[in-house]
Chain A
Amino acid sequence: MFSAPGLAAVGAGIVVLGAGLGIGRIAGSAMDGIARQPEASNKIQTAMIIGAALIEGVAFFCAVVCLLALNK
């Protein structure tokens, strides 16, 4: 009933869920921060990109694991 490619695809979906939640929270908080202090927007943007990149790294790592599972 459950094939390996199907489960790998479900895994990729779960990865997207986690990464989306994480990056969404970061972007939302950054928007709040910029709205309150527009003059600090440059620093907030840099910090936001760092955080998003770190989460994205983990998410891509999981996506690659799913891709490898797909070939099995």
Chain B
Amino acid sequence: MSSAVASVSSGGQDVSEYIIHHLVNSDSWHPLPGVGVPLLGDIHLFGIDLGLTLHSLMLIIAGGIVYFLFGFLYKKHSGRAPSGMTNMLEFLVLFVRDEICINYLGEEDGKRLAPFFLNFFFLVLVMNLMGLIPIFSTATANINVTMGLALITLTMMIVGGIGKNGLVGFIHIFLPPGVPKPIYVILFPIEVMGLFIKPFALTMRLYANMLGGHIVIFSLLGLIITFGWFGLPALGLALFIFFLELLVAFIQAYVFTMLSAMFVGSMMHPSH
């Protein structure tokens, strides 16, 4: 009995190592079992670590895939109805433009800012889906990547708010009308804090969603390590969670883009 408990608990150690190995950023890429590709680890420039790590490599590959999709697979057509890949990409582009940008930013700004949010949507979507392909790793399960994306949203909120309303109008966003004057002493800091909490919430949502989903998949697969052949039925459960993750990848890309558009819209059109 005690030896069985000991073997299971040592298996638990293996499993947590196995899970962490698959989720945490590292200096080498393991596309196949036993194959390790070392990456350029140590490049320091002006005191900043610019070395290529696994997740930054995935970020670059995702950018390449998005470029490939729209640079090569997308065919401009004239007069005829689109077909194949072009059709699918146009469906997604139109969805983001009409349902997200124009809905939250208005007709004029929505069309003008659509490329910005389309970038968000396709980059996050490709990174999320890459996490489900065995040879790749999930860049969005790294908080630095999602924080970077959310900082772009924060910049857009501030730049868009000042550009649209002017500096005085931008300050007035944090002073909602119809409130007694003394309340502003409390309200103004809270509203300014809200400006920074919104991107932080975006960061945590995407990061924790992707990390959580992958931890669940690897925990179920880890049952096989712990229990041997008896853990094999867990494969079915892992497959179920895998398909759930496929759905979550799309939903999170949609939610990230939509909330970004909503936050930018609330800065550009504060009356809405």
Size bracket, chain A contacts: 10 to 19
Interface residues of A in 34-52 (CB under 8 A from B): 46, 49-50
Chain A facing B: main interface SS: helix
Tell me the total A-B contact number using a CB cutoff of 8 A: 33
In the complex, A58→B255 CA distance in Å?
Answer: 14
Of A46, A50, A57, A64, the residue contacting B201 (CB under 8 A) is: A57
From residue B71, how far is it (CB to closest CB) to chain A in Å? 31
Asked whether A56 lies within 8 Å of B99 as measured between CB atoms, the reply is no
From residue A49, how far is it (CB to closest CB) to chain B in Å? 7
Interface residues of A in 43-72 (CB under 8 A from B): 46, 49-50, 53-54, 56-57, 60-61, 63-64
Asked whether B255 lies within 8 Å of A53 as measured between CB atoms, the reply is yes
From residue B49, how far is it (CB to closest CB) to chain A in Å? 23
In the complex, A54→B255 CA distance in Å?
Answer: 10
From residue A71, how far is it (CB to closest CB) to chain B in Å? 10
Asked whether B259 lies within 8 Å of A60 as measured between CB atoms, the reply is no
Asked whether B204 lies within 8 Å of A49 as measured between CB atoms, the reply is no
In the complex, A51→B262 CA distance in Å?
Answer: 13
Of A49, A54, A63, the residue contacting B208 (CB under 8 A) is: A63
Of A50, A54, A60, the residue contacting B209 (CB under 8 A) is: A60
Residues of B within 8 A of A46 (CB): 99, 258
Asked whether B212 lies within 8 Å of A63 as measured between CB atoms, the reply is yes
B245-272 interface code vs A (CB 8 A; 1 in, 0 out):
0000001001100110010000000000
Chain B facing A: main interface SS: helix
Asked whether A64 lies within 8 Å of B204 as measured between CB atoms, the reply is yes
Asked whether A57 lies within 8 Å of B212 as measured between CB atoms, the reply is no
Asked whether A60 lies within 8 Å of B255 as measured between CB atoms, the reply is no
Asked whether A60 lies within 8 Å of B204 as measured between CB atoms, the reply is yes
Name B262's closest neighbour in chain A (CB-CB): A50
Interface residues of B in 85-100 (CB under 8 A from A): 99
Q: Does B22 contact A (CB under 8 A)?
A: no
Residues of B within 8 A of A49 (CB): 251, 254-255, 258
A53 touching B204 in the complex, CB below 8 Å, given contacts A46-B99, A63-B212: no
Asked whether B208 lies within 8 Å of A60 as measured between CB atoms, the reply is yes
Interface residues of B in 186-224 (CB under 8 A from A): 201, 204-205, 208-209, 211-212
In the complex, A63→B216 CA distance in Å?
Answer: 13
Q: List residues of B whose CB falls within 8 A of some A CB.
A: 99, 201, 204-205, 208-209, 211-212, 251, 254-255, 258-259, 262
Can you offer 16 A-B residue contacts whose CB atoms are under 8 A? A46-B258, A49-B251, A49-B254, A49-B258, A50-B259, A50-B262, A53-B255, A53-B259, A54-B201, A57-B205, A60-B204, A60-B205, A60-B209, A61-B208, A63-B212, A64-B208
